[in-house]
Amino acid sequence: MSMKAVVYKEAFKVAIEDKPKPQIEHPNDVIIKITTSAICGSDLHMYEGRTGAEPGIVFGHENMGIVEEVGSGVALLKKGDRIVLPFNVACGHCANCETGFTAFCTEVNPGFAGGAYGYVAMGPYQGGQAQYLRVPWADFNALLLPPGKEHEEDFILLADIFPTGWHGVTLSGFKPGENVAIWGAGPVGLMAAYSAVLRGAAKVYVVDRVPERLAKARELGCTPVDFTKGDPVEQIIKLHGGMVDRAVDAVGYQAVAADGKKEQANAVLDALIRVVRPTGGLGIPGLYVPSDPGAQDEATRNGNLTLPFGKLFEKGLSLGTGQANVKAYNKYLRDMIIAGRAKPSFVVSNTISIDEAPDAYEKFDKRIEGYTKVLIHPNGW
């Protein structure tokens, strides 16, 4: 039996192709029928040819659906259960998983810390921008949801961006009542800003250059900062009357210089060090990679960035990095959604069929107005 899937062909090109429907490969697997998947900013790194992804990979690390087949070793899930999956694939029993660091599982992807669905170098796990998905170590990885269709657009964001935004704030060392600056108002940046607001930040500044994104930040009660209007660090210090307590990088290695044209991989990291007060903290959930084939200089191509480490040391700043351990947060955020305390779906701009995915990738990549966060319903809705 075959299924439709979003398949990477070459830089700036994906196509809808028929792929074999996944099968149970291990007793701990389940097969789910995807109800919703999502296009992530991290997918754009591969789409643009900036990761070394090979043609043929099925994209999609933000996935939810209905359990259709259950392996003989699965104890907690049954056919018909509605689940959402962390983008992290984790075994549940290595030293890192046992201590909560599921983003850094050492078993699922030998030689690399961590695994994920549909992402280059993150293991052999097919992505979920498809009609069906195999879920390994299913009892450990699945988050059970209430049956039905309620909160679908909120629950899908538990796969990555809501926990990742929350994680970025946590990495910074944030405490309620502190002031935070967020670089990037894409979906993860907006989730970081939303998380800071939910957690009691006094003031939140959000830096970007896209008017639509900055407007979303303002709607959350944050102060938008357009970096095309001048040095954002100077703008924030002037607005705030000094440096802030914490800052979050929700941009990553494809950051751009102040002119908004030339890439400068260390631009955001440099700004965070400048904008945070002495003994404050930086949270860096934005993606940085060991190698970038599209970088403009050899050092950056090899993942080596120049940073003002002397200033970081002088100010005594703390720093946290790395992908989100989604399981550390997702059940609590799920319960906040169910209770009506959180509604992250405000970032969702489009819901599409799987056949519309190639066009949506192109528009999302070009930051065309109206494409903030795109959800895919591969089996209709």
Query: What is the DSSP track for 41-74?
Result: HHHHHHHTT-S-PPTTPBP---EEEEEEEE-TT-
Report the pLDDT value the prediction gives residue 329, as an integer from 0 to 100: 98
Give residue 214's pLDDT band: very low, low, confident or very high (50, 70, 90): very high
CA–CA distance from 262 to each of 251, 253, 373 (Å)? 15, 13, 25
Helices then strands, each counted (H, E), the chain:
13, 17
Give residue 311's pLDDT band: very low, low, confident or very high (50, 70, 90): very high
- Provide Rg for the chain, Cα atoms: 20
pLDDT: which is higher, 346 or 256: 346
Instruction: Give per-residue pLDDT as tens, 268-302.
Output: 999 999 999 999 999 999 989 888 877 878 888 88
Give residue 71's pLDDT band: very low, low, confident or very high (50, 70, 90): very high
Q: Is the C-alpha dihedral spanning 36, 37, 39, 40 positive or negative?
A: positive
Q: What is the mean pLDDT of the chain?
A: 95
Report the pLDDT value the prediction gives residue 314, as an integer from 0 to 100: 98
Strand-by-strand arrangement of the 244-249 sheet: 223-226, 203-208, 179-183, 244-249, 276-284, 318-321
**Structural domains of the chain, ranges and CATH numbers in brackets:** 2-160+325-377 (3.90.180.10), 163-321 (3.40.50.720)
Nearest to 251 by CA among 287, 204, 205: 287
Instruction: Give per-residue pLDDT as tens, 134-173.
Output: 999 999 999 999 999 999 999 999 999 999 999 999 999 9
Question: CA 291, CA 280: separation in Å to the nearest integer?
Answer: 29
Residues above pLDDT 90, as percent of the chain: 87
pLDDT: which is higher, 253 or 139: 139
Please answer whether residues 74 and 89 qualify as being in contact, where contact means their C-beta atoms are separated by less than 8 angstroms: no
- Strand 179-183 vs strand 244-249: parallel, antiparallel, or unpaired? parallel
Report the pLDDT value the prediction gives residue 380, as an integer from 0 to 100: 93
Give residue 262's pLDDT band: very low, low, confident or very high (50, 70, 90): confident
Give residue 121's pLDDT band: very low, low, confident or very high (50, 70, 90): confident
Report the pLDDT value the prediction gives residue 152, as an integer from 0 to 100: 98
Report the pLDDT value the prediction gives residue 249, as an integer from 0 to 100: 98
Report the pLDDT value the prediction gives residue 381, as an integer from 0 to 100: 80
Neighbours of 136 (CB within 10 A): 21
Give residue 332's pLDDT band: very low, low, confident or very high (50, 70, 90): very high
pLDDT: which is higher, 302 or 315: 315
Instruction: Give per-residue pLDDT as tens, 182-213.
Output: 999 999 999 999 999 999 999 999 999 999 99
Report the pLDDT value the prediction gives residue 285, as an integer from 0 to 100: 96
Report the pLDDT value the prediction gives residue 52, as an integer from 0 to 100: 80
Nearest to 270 by CA among 218, 227, 223: 227
Q: Is the C-alpha dihedral spanning 224, 225, 227, 230 positive or negative?
A: positive
Please answer whether residues 351 and 381 qualify as being in contact, where contact means their C-beta atoms are separated by less than 8 angstroms: yes
Question: CA 110, CA 250: separation in Å to the nearest integer?
Answer: 28
Question: CA 244, CA 247: separation in Å to the nearest integer?
Answer: 7
> HSE on the CB side for 32, CA within 13 Å?
31
Nearest 5°: CA angle at 47, between 253 and 12? 120
Q: Is the pLDDT of residue 321 over 90?
A: yes
Q: Is the pLDDT of residue 116 over 80?
A: yes
210's tokens: 């896209």
Report the pLDDT value the prediction gives residue 260, as an integer from 0 to 100: 75
Instruction: Give per-residue pLDDT as tens, 20-43.
Output: 999 999 999 999 999 999 999 889
Nearest to 191 by CA among 338, 324, 44, 340: 324
Report the pLDDT value the prediction gives residue 293, as an integer from 0 to 100: 79
